[in-house]
Amino acid sequence: MKRPVIGITSDYSDGYSEEYPSLLTYRIKSSYISAVISAGGVPVIIPFGKNIETQALLDKLDGIIISGSRDDIHPYFTGKAKRVPKKNFISRQEFEFRLTSDAIDNRIPVLGICGGMQLLNVLFGGNLIEDIPKYTGSTIHRNGYFRMAHSIRIARRSHLFRAVRSDTLMVNSTHHQAVYNIPSCLNVSAVAEDGIAEAVELDSDTFVMGVQYHPEALIKYKSHLMLFEYFIKKARRK
């Protein structure tokens, strides 16, 4: 059986080395690659840029993962700033909004992780809590990439429940922003102990999900690998 080809959006470094400090470098954590391979897919790293044709990419892909980012989504995209600076992280975010929108239009399965979930919420008109501890007082969301931080409650009528086959799950956490004003087209499929949304799903026949935690760092636990297996299965059927 043919393995689905899964595109993973890349993060970046502003320099390549001391010799080439101004050379943009695309990069991705190896954990994303391992998760896709372990779940039965073929990973492809997607660079970003305004001159990259998303449709040409999507014609070759069976699914996309919007990976986590070192940068917050710029306030321009939530209507809180009038201009965007000419920075690499803006170029990445502009590209990911365009790629995600086009993937959904093409009925290609999408999995947004951490900042990728936040991007999905903003794409459909939602907003972001700019700093969870400041606005809610909660401190459970910064415990690390490989460490369990807190539990989540999963809605039974959700793709996430069907994927992990449980209504509770321990997850890691590395974010300080969170989604709010979640648009009606997105269903909240999991919440943390403090009420912060931990997963959303598009109300659509196409699989479009965002998770706030990082399952790719936890695939040694079967329940987290199962999410990628479920996503790969959806990509195989697209």
Enter the pTM of the model: 0.95
Residues near 220 by beta carbon (within 8 Å), at least 6 away in sequence: none
Residue numbers of the domain that contains 107 = 5-237
Task: Tell me the mean pLDDT in the region 216-235.
Answer: 98
* Beta-strand relationship, 208-211 and 197-202: antiparallel
Does the pLDDT at position 194 exceed 90? Answer: yes
Q: Where are the alpha helices (DSSP H) in 20-153?
A: 30-38, 54-58, 88-105, 115-123, 132-136
Q: Which pLDDT score, from 0 to 100, does residue 22 have?
A: 86
The total number of structural domains that make up the chain: 1
pLDDT tier for residue 86 given thresholds of 50, 70 and 90: confident
Residues near 67 by beta carbon (within 8 Å), at least 6 away in sequence: 8, 9, 10, 11, 28, 29, 32, 113, 114, 115, 116
- End-to-end CA, the chain: 14
Determine how many CB atoms are found less than 10 A away from the CB of residue 157.
Answer: 8
Determine how many CB atoms are found less than 10 A away from the CB of residue 120.
Answer: 28
Task: Tell me the mean pLDDT in the region 83-98.
Answer: 90
Q: Which pLDDT score, from 0 to 100, does residue 43 have?
A: 98
Q: Which pLDDT score, from 0 to 100, does residue 85 have?
A: 78
Does the pLDDT at position 21 exceed 90? Answer: no
Looking at the DSSP assignment, which residues form a beta bridge with residue 27? Answer: 11
Structure tokens at 31: 């954990």
Q: Which pLDDT score, from 0 to 100, does residue 18 have?
A: 84
The enclosing domain of 10 has a CATH number of 3.40.50.880
Query: Among all chains, which residue has been given the structure tokens 């989504």?
Result: 73
Does the pLDDT at position 238 exceed 80? Answer: no
Q: Which pLDDT score, from 0 to 100, does residue 114 have?
A: 97
